[in-house]
A and B are shown apart, each in its own frame.
Chain A
Amino acid sequence: MILRNVAIRHGRSALAAPLRRSFLRSMTTDTLTHETDALSHSVHNHLKETHSIEASINQLNLTKTFVPPSDAGESLDSIKTDYDSQQRLNKRTGKLGSAVEKGYVPDALVRNPPKPADVTLELLMASQSHLGHSTSLWNPANQRYIFGIRQGIHIISLEETAAHLRRAAKVVEGVAYHGGLILFVGTRAGQGPAIVKAARLSKGCHLFEKWIPGSITNGDQILARCDIKVVDKDDVDITSGFEDKIGDWKALKPDLVVCMNPLENYIMLHECGLNNIPTIGVIDTDADPTWVTYPIPANDDSLRCIQVIAGVLGRAGQEGQGRRLEAAKTGHITWLPPPGLGSPETAEDKKAAANKVRRGPPTADEIAAEQSRGKSSKQEMDDVDGEL
């Protein structure tokens, strides 16, 4: 249809346009009739051709519903119909034509973050994780992570980055597997979406605004109004039976903190240190790697690098949570309830919650197995605690 419009418009303009003066001058009176005949013939042919093209296009039924835009004032309805028809057209003709190569999609890393297995040196380099700071700004503690100097800035060794990132992914996965609470922190401008995505994947918490000092050391004051809930082994909410205990329960503390910009969050890392909370941090060449438990030497100024790291750790957490729920389905519980929480207050509540947990009555074998598992899981927890 568009093609037809173009052809008709051009045909019309070709007909309407005055002949060039030089062309007229070159023509004598006797040749003039021949020339005009030839011209009219060619125009006729041209029109015929456009008609045939139009007919063949209309046969395709691709553009039957398309109405060419008119100048006579667009009403709201026309905008809606235009939009709908455009959507239909895109849907039908989107696959036609040449294949477009992959372009740069700014939020691709946030929408579909890479897995720990996808971490390659190429990916890290493409996301600019090797660029450090000016050599004059370095912290000598990072010497072991530095590959060399180029154009006055330190280049971080990508092998170190990849190794440390994989190790951190293992830690995140382990904490998620053991039912820990993971907090992702990235308070620089633009880090929010990646942080939120990572927290959503790993069922953790996110923080993309300022860390309120004392949220861990003085949490009972600062987080007093923030609600907590009780979940069972399958992460299903237990709605009744714990109201009183939740009411005067202390504020929660994270079991692992992942910090994308340790330089700005010293207070938070210090609080984590005071409470024996392990931390993972992106350490640029000007940061102090001893502030965090598990450093990841990388460029913390690049949003793409942060998106890769947050994405990888988020995916690792997702994997850990998935494994934990899988294990819980088979009756293997990888965590221990917090001391003092106990069981629901009334027997009915307990029964209601227990019905959710277990469908049939447990056999003696199951109980024994569970007990041994409980012991082993406690052992594992201790190991993890010690390790962290």
Chain B
Amino acid sequence: MKVSWHPATLKETLQCASHPQSISFSRQRVINIRPRNFTTSTRLQAGIAAAEIDFGGRTGKEKEPPFYARLVPTSASYFTAQPLFTDDLLAVQTLVERYSNLPTVKPGEAPRVAWRPLADYRDSVGEVVQASKYSKIIHALQRLNHIQASLMPEPVKDALNAYKRNVNPFRNVVKVAPIDKLGRSLGAGRRKASTARAWLVEGTGEVLVNGKSLVDAFGRVHDRESVIWALKATDRIDKYNVWALANGGGTTGQAEALTLAVGKALMAHEPALKPALRRAGCVTRDPRRVERKKPGHVKARKMPAWVKR
């Protein structure tokens, strides 16, 4: 049988099959094979250059042992290039996992919390954190925030506090203007240089501005309409009496300051009207003022006329 081209082990097997008496011999041979050294680097390194000369060893002077210190990353998230963020994320997710069995409140009933904005977080860690990644932290925090308040563990409280804004805007409740014992409510408004106060009482639709009737106080129909716009937009002109004081500025400013004042006074009587009043434009203060005059201009923006030569 021609076996020369077979691999060694197969060759041996075939030999054993054809000549049973030679088993012991072949095994002996297999055992004597030297284990092959696959590493060549040591020999290579030795071959590239002469071995380092040890000057200290021969002369009897003991070579000082090296100082054993090595460099390792501070954080296991070193290769993410955002180690602080990744560690924060893992810490929060670990809390979620650990306390996942605690009872929670219903989805809408957790206390509303304003989380630190992304820019603030970026400043604190000093890394470029994408919004999508920061939202993962926020997602985990929201889950933690749903744990029952009475069962909230200390570590969770600490974690939540670390990500809360210093000021919680959701705890800010709008003050409701009081109604005095005579049934009057006071609202104040401003527009341009004018300020106005308006007292609103349930009545038949009489309006007095600075002791004058609406017709006497404002010559323009538009201004008259502005004063009672809050009542007109909500269809309550004949339900309230207005007694108002306005000073400063011009007629338009006073009239529109009164719009705001009457609107706020009306909200004291009927708080539910706020959305309607906001749509009617009786809630927001118009911040525009007279623009200052600039040097080189005739007015705020007007340029001097171009004169030939």
Give A contacts to B, CB under 8 Å: 76-77, 79-80, 83, 179, 181, 183, 196, 199-200, 204-207, 209, 211-212, 215, 222-223, 225-233, 238, 242, 246, 249, 252, 254, 333, 335-338, 341-344, 350, 353-354, 357, 367, 370-371, 374, 379, 382-383, 385-387
Contact = CB atoms under 8 A, between A and B. Distances in A.
B34 interface: no
A179 B42 contact: no
A344 to B, nearest CB: 7
Contacts, number: 136
Nearest to A241: B69
B24 interface: no
A205 B65 contact: no
Contacts of A209: 80, 86, 133
Given A337-B68, A353-B69, 18 more contacts: A83-B102, A83-B151, A199-B76, A204-B76, A205-B73, A212-B80, A223-B81, A226-B73, A230-B72, A232-B68, A232-B69, A233-B68, A249-B71, A335-B68, A337-B67, A354-B67, A357-B68, A387-B39
Interface of B: 38-42, 44-45, 62-63, 65-81, 83, 86, 90, 102-103, 126-127, 133, 148-151
A242 B74 CA distance: 14
Contact of B75 (A207, A226, A233, A254): A226
Nearest to A374: B65
A231 B41 contact: no
Contacts of A206: 76-77, 80
A207 B80 contact: yes
A144 B267 CA distance: 81
- Of the listed residues B39, B81, B90, B126, the one surrounded by the most CB atoms of chain A closer than 10 A to its CB is B81
A374 B66 contact: yes
B83 A227 contact: yes
A333 B68 contact: yes
A341 B81 contact: no
Contacts of A200: 76
A336 B66 contact: yes
B25 to A, nearest CB: 31
Contacts of B76: 196, 199-200, 204-206
Contacts of B133: 209
A385 B39 CA distance: 9
Contacts of A338: 70-71
The 10 closest A-B pairs by CB, nearest first: A386-B41, A343-B67, A227-B74, A80-B150, A76-B150, A386-B39, A233-B68, A229-B74, A230-B69, A226-B78
Contact of A181 (B44, B65, B73): B73
A242 B69 contact: yes
Contacts of A333: 68
19 contacts: A77-B150, A83-B103, A83-B151, A181-B73, A206-B80, A209-B86, A215-B81, A225-B127, A227-B74, A230-B71, A246-B71, A252-B73, A333-B68, A350-B67, A353-B69, A367-B62, A367-B65, A383-B41, A386-B44
Contacts of A83: 102-103, 148, 151
B42 A383 contact: yes
Contacts of B81: 212, 215, 222-223, 225-226
B78 to A, nearest CB: 5
A231 B148 contact: no
A195 to B, nearest CB: 10
Contact of B42 (A183, A215, A228, A379): A379
Given A205-B79, A386-B41, A179 B63 contact: no
Contact of B38 (A211, A249, A335, A387): A387
Contacts of A344: 67, 69
- Of the listed residues B66, B78, B90, the one surrounded by the most CB atoms of chain A closer than 10 A to its CB is B78
A337 B69 contact: yes
A79 B104 CA distance: 10
Given A76-B150, A196-B90, A252-B73, A337 B66 contact: yes
B126 A228 contact: no
Contact of B126 (A225, A229, A335): A225
Contacts of A343: 67, 69
A87 to B, nearest CB: 10
B103 A79 contact: yes
A350 B67 CA distance: 9
Contact of A386 (B42, B71, B83): B42
A354 B63 CA distance: 17
A337 B76 CA distance: 20
- Of the listed residues A206, A246, A367, the one surrounded by the most CB atoms of chain B closer than 10 A to its CB is A206
A246 B45 CA distance: 30
B70 A370 contact: no
Nearest to A368: B62
Contacts of B70: 179, 230-231, 335, 337-338, 341
